[in-house]
Amino acid sequence: MSMTAHRLICLGPHGFYNLVCLRWTPTAEAGPPVVCVHGLSRNGRDFDALAAQLSARRLVVAPDLPGRGLSDWLPAKADYGYPLYLAAVAALIGSLGAERIDYVGTSMGGIIGMMLASQPNSPIRRLVLNDVGPLIPRAALERIGRYVGKDERFGDLAAVEAYFRRVAAPFGDLTDAQWRHMAVHGSRRVAEGSLALAYDPAIGAPFQGEQRDVDLWSVYERVCCPTLVIRGAQSDLLLPETARAMTERGPKAALLEVPGAGHAPALMAAEQISAIDAFLADGEML
């Protein structure tokens, strides 16, 4: 298995842009491709550990969504939003040439997956929602708005790592190597020689100003594929009562709670990876 970066040319409301997609190619495929989509300010390298295991027998693809990682920033900042993200991920799925795919989405990536899985004739066969659901509390959105899009500057990689250890503490008990991985792939060098976060600060614009609860139950209840919900036990974005209701409504998801994590489990721990692997493997012969 090996990881390579590929460019997919996508069309947005204000022109074409490059979507960079990471691909882990197995030596022999034994199931449909797995598409992994990151959270609001993250990028496809978040799935390195998960892809290392899944790609033993699956093609795994993880995009850097527009404005993140190696993908282009958008010239019209108002275009950062779900209509463009849905179109980008749909184009990526179409480029794979597979009739069915499995989908793993963290936070915003999970919302994208939920929306795609709710559509008629969706190609999503199995869906993993990492710490996100159909009801998103205002308080969690306000917390995100306090740090996303601030255009921070850092003197060195150690300062970037310290930043992530602070703002991403709810990701769980990561090793030193995992925190450093997050810092390396979550930062970019800017003109004056300092480091900045690896995203366009404009992605944070929707989180500024007054927030309100987001209700997506009508979307979730149209999902009909087998679904696994992963919840950080201390999450403020996926509340315990919402997670429980997800096991009773719509696709009646299976639920895995991760102790010692909030929003959102990093999917780097062996037990989290194995749970996802087992869930996706259950459907391989369907």
Concatenating the DSSP letter of every residue in 67-86 gives TBTTSPPPSSGGG-SHHHHH
pLDDT for 1: 61
pLDDT tens digits along 107-131: 999 999 999 999 999 999 999 999 9
Q: What DSSP designation does 200 have?
A: -
Q: Is 160 left (phi over 0), alpha (psi -120 to 50) or beta?
A: alpha
Superfamily, domain 2-136+213-281: Alpha/Beta hydrolase fold, catalytic domain (3.40.50.1820)
* Angle, helices 176-185/157-167, rounded to nearest 10 degrees: 110
**Amino acid at site 99:** E
- End-to-end Cα spacing for the chain: 25
pLDDT for 285: 40
pLDDT tens digits along 233-250: 999 999 999 999 999 999
Helix (H, G, I), strand (E, B), or coil: what is residue 122? coil
Nearest to 36 by CA among 130, 136, 134: 130
Number of neighbouring beta carbons within 10 Å of residue 83: 11
Tokens encoding 263: 């929003």
Q: What DSSP designation does 199 have?
A: B
Using 70 as the pLDDT threshold, list the residues of the chain that sit under it. 1, 29, 283-286
Per-domain boundaries in the chain: 2-136+213-281
**Beta carbons of 122 and 116 less than 8 angstroms apart:** yes
Q: For residues 94 and 212, what is the distance between their CA atoms, to the nearest angstrom?
A: 34
Q: pTM, whole model, 2 decimals?
A: 0.96
pLDDT for 146: 86
pLDDT for 286: 35
pLDDT for 283: 61
